[in-house]
């Protein structure tokens, strides 16, 4: 939560007025978590935040430093302001991709009751706008454009106590994340969502906001552990992608991104005490996601992109032949087994295995820090590199890392990638060219090439 918030009541005809006597007894409304900038695209972003009570909310925004009138967008549904919830996600579109924007949050202070027309007309104080506006120097953003080079940062599998998660995020912030165009949190941010406030909002959002999340876009991607827990069904109330689901596509510069939800790694056991009890419609969800993906890969934007990158918690053909692998393979194998130029995937970034590896396309080889104890690589039916990031060591070999981060620079003629430890030490490095070819640049680094026996 931001500590330095400037609060003022907006009354018609007076931009920064104090509370009037008639309004002095209005209940306070505060932002308890956020704001966070998320799901960016060409000329678009979403701003999310949580308030302490149920209230209507909106965003006012304009080009930073200008004298332009503030534009506004409210959290609405079917033409009405949503005032019965405290979770808000407001999509801003039609933005100038070349401009920096400033924004402020507008909260509607809910009345104790609504007045009838006669009383409303007779008492002028009832006609005063009941809004509270919140400003901070950190409330600014720049939407994506089609003409930019940049880098982004990825971290995954933060199943640690809150204090440790905060320290991990701080460490990566200090070693490269702070300079990234956007940050990807690639799922499994907690073991299960039994209390979303303590598990996610306090465990993750408080820290990402403190590290600049009110201006630097963060993507929150659902992993299998976000499918688990007594409050896991609240995930989309906070972190839905545009369209309301947990998958999306967007573009930044020369790269086209596909965000996938790879589901749970255990089959559903409906209406039981098992942690997959709520996943009664997982297959229906995956069928819908596959239908959506069909339209994405046929789009001109996908086919014309110089680089195509998949961001997903799990990956095809790289995580053993268990339930999740079958689900993921069924989701993507119709689209991504070809290396045809207009269908080529240049890079797939994942987590889930808690073991760093960078696969060599079309082989059972991968760069890693050590030979894995488990057999992760089922076969070689894929034509793109899969980078899998570390997580808490479960039974890994000596040299396995509890976390790793990935810096990806999207340049005009290559993707340049460095895998790093929390202290910033680079242990793997490579580049991907527009034609899909890969050049290893890791000579002298600690990653080595291993051959894995397929399952």
**Do 187 and 331 share a structural domain?**
yes
In a domain, 402, yes or no: yes
Query: Do residues 51 and 90 lie in contact, with contact meaning Cβ atoms separated by under 8 Å?
Result: no
For the purposes of burial, counting CB atoms within 10 Å of the CB of 82, is it exposed (0-12), middle (13-18) or buried (19 or more)? middle
CATH number for position 266: 3.60.21.10
In a domain, 1, yes or no: no
In a domain, 291, yes or no: yes
User: Considering its fold, how many domains does the chain have in total?
Assistant: 2
CATH number for position 21: 2.60.40.10
Residues 6+ apart with CB under 8 A from 420: 172, 175, 176, 404, 405, 406, 407, 426, 427
- DSSP characters over 52-102: SS--EEEEEEEETT--PPPEEEE-EETTEE--S-SEEEEEE-S--TT--EE
Query: Do residues 358 and 369 lie in contact, with contact meaning Cβ atoms separated by under 8 Å?
Result: no
pLDDT band at 40 (very low <50, low <70, confident <90, very high): very high
CA distance 438 to 386: 12
**Do 174 and 85 share a structural domain?**
no
CA distance 32 to 201: 9
DSSP state of 42: B
pLDDT band at 115 (very low <50, low <70, confident <90, very high): confident
Nearest to 454 by CA among 384, 374, 388, 391: 374
CA distance 398 to 353: 16
Top-confidence residue, 235 or 21: 235
The pLDDT value recorded for residue 15 is 29
Nearest to 368 by CA among 448, 442, 452: 448
Pull the structure tokens for residue 376.
Answer: 């992760």
303: which strand partners? none
**Do 179 and 93 share a structural domain?**
no
**Do 419 and 274 share a structural domain?**
yes
**Do 321 and 213 share a structural domain?**
yes
Give per-residue pLDDT as tens, 70-96: 999 999 999 999 999 999 999 999 999
Q: Percent of the chain scored above 90 by pLDDT? A: 71
How many CB atoms are located within 10 Å of the residue 230 CB? Answer: 13
Pull the structure tokens for residue 20.
Answer: 């009037």
The pLDDT value recorded for residue 418 is 98
The pLDDT value recorded for residue 120 is 77
Provide the domain limits for residue 59.
6-141
**Do 193 and 261 share a structural domain?**
yes
Out of 185-194, 207-216, 367-376, 444-453, which region has the weakest mean confidence (pLDDT)?
367-376
State residue 31 phi and psi, 5-degree precision.
Answer: -85, 125
Give per-residue pLDDT as tens, 116-149: 888 777 877 777 778 899 999 999 999 999 989 9
Nearest to 356 by CA among 388, 384, 386: 388
**Do 156 and 124 share a structural domain?**
no
Q: Is the pLDDT of residue 394 over 60?
A: no
**Do 62 and 170 share a structural domain?**
no
The pLDDT value recorded for residue 400 is 63
CA distance 413 to 434: 7
- Give the domain-ending residue among 92, 118, 141: 141
In a domain, 35, yes or no: yes
State residue 331 phi and psi, 5-degree precision.
Answer: -70, -40
The residue to which tokens 């998320």 are assigned: 38
């Amino acid at each position: 939560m931001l500590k330095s918030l400037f609060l003022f009541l907006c009354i018609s005809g007076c931009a920064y007025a104090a509370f009037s006597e008639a309004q002095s007894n209005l209940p306070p409304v505060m932002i308890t978590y956020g704001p966070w900038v998320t799901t960016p695209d060409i000329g678009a972003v979403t701003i999310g935040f949580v308030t302490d009570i149920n209230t209507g909310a909106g965003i006012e925004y304009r080009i930073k430093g200008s004298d332009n009138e503030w534009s506004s967008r409210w959290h609405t549904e079917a033409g009405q302001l949503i005032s019965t919830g405290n979770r808000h996600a407001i999509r801003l579109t039609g933005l100038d991709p070349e401009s920096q924007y400033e924004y402020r949050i507008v909260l509607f202070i809910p009345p104790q009751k609504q007045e009838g027309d006669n009383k409303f007309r007779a008492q002028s104080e009832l006609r005063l706008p009941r809004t509270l506006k919140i400003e901070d120097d950190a409330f600014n953003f720049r939407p994506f454009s089609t003409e930019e080079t940049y880098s982004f940062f990825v971290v995954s599998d933060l199943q640690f106590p809150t204090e440790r998660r905060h320290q991990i995020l701080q460490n990566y912030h200090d070693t490269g994340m702070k300079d990234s165009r956007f940050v990807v949190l690639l799922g499994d941010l907690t073991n299960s969502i039994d209390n979303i406030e303590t598990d996610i909002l306090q465990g993750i959002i408080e820290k990402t906001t403190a590290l600049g999340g009110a201006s630097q876009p963060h993507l929150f991607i659902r992993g299998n552990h976000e499918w688990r827990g007594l409050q896991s069904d609240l995930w989309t109330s906070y972190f839905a992608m545009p369209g309301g689901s947990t998958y999306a596509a967007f573009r930044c510069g020369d790269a086209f991104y596909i965000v996938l939800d790879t589901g749970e790694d255990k089959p559903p056991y409906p209406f039981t005490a098992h942690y997959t009890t709520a996943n009664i419609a997982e297959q229906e969800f995956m069928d819908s996601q596959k239908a959506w993906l069909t339209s994405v890969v046929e789009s001109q934007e996908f086919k014309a992109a110089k680089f195509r990158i998949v961001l997903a918690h799990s990956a095809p053909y790289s995580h053993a032949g268990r339930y999740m692998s079958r689900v993921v393979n069924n989701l993507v194998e119709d689209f991504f087994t070809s290396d045809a130029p207009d269908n080529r995937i240049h890079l797939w970034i994942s987590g889930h295995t808690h073991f760093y590896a960078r696969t060599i396309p079309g082989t059972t080889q991968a760069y890693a820090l050590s030979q894995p104890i488990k057999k992760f690589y089922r076969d070689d039916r894929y034509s793109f590199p899969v980078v899998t990031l570390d997580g808490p060591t479960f039974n890994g070999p000596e040299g396995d890392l509890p976390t790793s981060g990935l810096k990806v620079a999207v340049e005009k003629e290559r993707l340049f990638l460095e895998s790093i430890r929390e202290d910033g030490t680079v242990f793997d490095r490579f580049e991907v060219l527009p034609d899909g070819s890969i050049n290893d640049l890791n000579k002298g680094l600690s990653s080595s090439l291993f051959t894995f026996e397929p399952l």
